Amino acid sequence: MFGSPLGSNVARTTSYKVVIPFYAYGAIAFLAAAVLLLTSTSSFGGHWFQPQLLAITHLMALGWATMIILGASHQLVPVLIENDLYSNKLAYASFGFGAAGIPLLVHGFFTFNLGWPAQLGGVLVVCAVLAFTANIAASISRSKRENVHAVFVFTATIWLLLTVLLGLALLFNFTTSLLTRDSVHYLALHAHLGLVGWFLLLVLGVGSRLIPMFLISKYTNPRLLWAVFILVNTALVLYGLGFLYGMAPVLNYVPALLVLAGLLLFAHYCRRAYAERIRKKVDDPMKASLLAVGMLLLPSLVLIVLIGALLSSAGGHATLVLLYGFTIFFGWLTAIILGMTFKTLPFIVWNKIYRHRAALGKMPSPKDLFSHRVYKAMGLTYLAGFILFGAGILSGAPLLLRAGAGVLLLAAVLYNWNVGKLLTRKPFNK
């Protein structure tokens, strides 16, 4: 419908007033993170546990990726379950808590002042996730349609809740002894619950629905998706149990290889959907999303190399950890958001402005509401910046780090320009 396969369910069930603030907030957070990256390149020459790196990581994880995903989920979950979103008020509460809490938390990490302002920020973030979890759970429970995509989303939401609860405990543990070990000991568990349980599982679940929809492909394979679901969740449970009960280091390969197997199956799913597509011409945002599927494999490969380095006691652990985090937050997560923003947000804006005017005459399609030239420039600068900065991490060359960060900042500026163009769009008079 009007260039978007999302159809009328989105227009009927989710108000643009709920969704748009998340996108706007995420865009600003991406720009802020790119600025911090440029001003903190010297931090990438040492250990990963540094205030600037913690601030950038949480700004990218919460302000950029999570806020965009929460906004998109309020729009997409009704499509997955073919029913209304349970509560717009809970959605507003989720945005309000998150929008207030994230800056407090990020500022606390940047200054490494983890007192009450940062702790208040952490509490507000947990409240945002609780509101979102309650909304998604209630929405799915009221739906008469059950499908694997909704199970992916709900399970990912539970992992998100566990992630932020553990993160809040770690935050308080810096100033008050709540846990048996120091907070740094638990950071790997906290990180992987969020990266694999929240981000990866949700991207796989939503992507497995949206990629065939946007390609207009008839391909479907629920059994394969259930296999992906089982592989990823089994890996998470094994990793968590091994972390808490002292697994032999060599056994870290098991969850890593399970996740890699799940990703390869998902890549096969996307390849089949692409091969059986009805729409032969693939637009630029869709190409970016498909590229992100390929980039999913990069963090897994880096992780496997990192495990090998740890087992062999070889040097370069800090470099590999930094590269691992960078390929996740500035790699596949950013790539998929850059692509899907301009597949979903234009339809939301079109629905806001033109839905009630469609009978008055010819209207622009959603894809006409943003600049494709700016989008292509953003894509090229993003890829260049990602490659340059990644090379800078591996080589330790300050010039490459600064150049990569500068180009990534340009990509963030272009992204914000196009998002701003969409959000300030006014109807033209016929």
The 10s digit of each residue's pLDDT in 128-177 is: 999 999 999 998 888 777 788 889 999 999 999 999 999 999 999 888 88
| Mean pLDDT score of the chain | 83
Question: Is 133:157 a contact under the CB 8 Å cutoff?
Answer: yes
Residue 332 has pLDDT above 90, yes or no: no
Confidence tier at 2 by pLDDT (50, 70, 90):
very low
CA gyration radius, the chain = 21
Token pair recorded at residue 412: 């963030």
Confidence tier at 38 by pLDDT (50, 70, 90):
very high
* Mean pLDDT score, 385-413: 93
Helix ranges (H only) for 174-296 are: 183-192, 201-215, 222-245, 253-275, 284-295
* Mean pLDDT score, 322-328: 81
Percent of the chain residues topping a pLDDT of 90: 36
Residue 307 has pLDDT above 60, yes or no: no
**H helix count then E strand count, the chain:** 17, 0
Confidence tier at 377 by pLDDT (50, 70, 90):
very high
Query: Can you give the pTM of this predicted structure?
Result: 0.86
Domains of the chain, with CATH numbers?
8-423 (1.20.210.10)
Rounded Cα gap, residues 142 and 135, in angstroms: 11
* Mean pLDDT score, 380-408: 92
Confidence tier at 312 by pLDDT (50, 70, 90):
very low
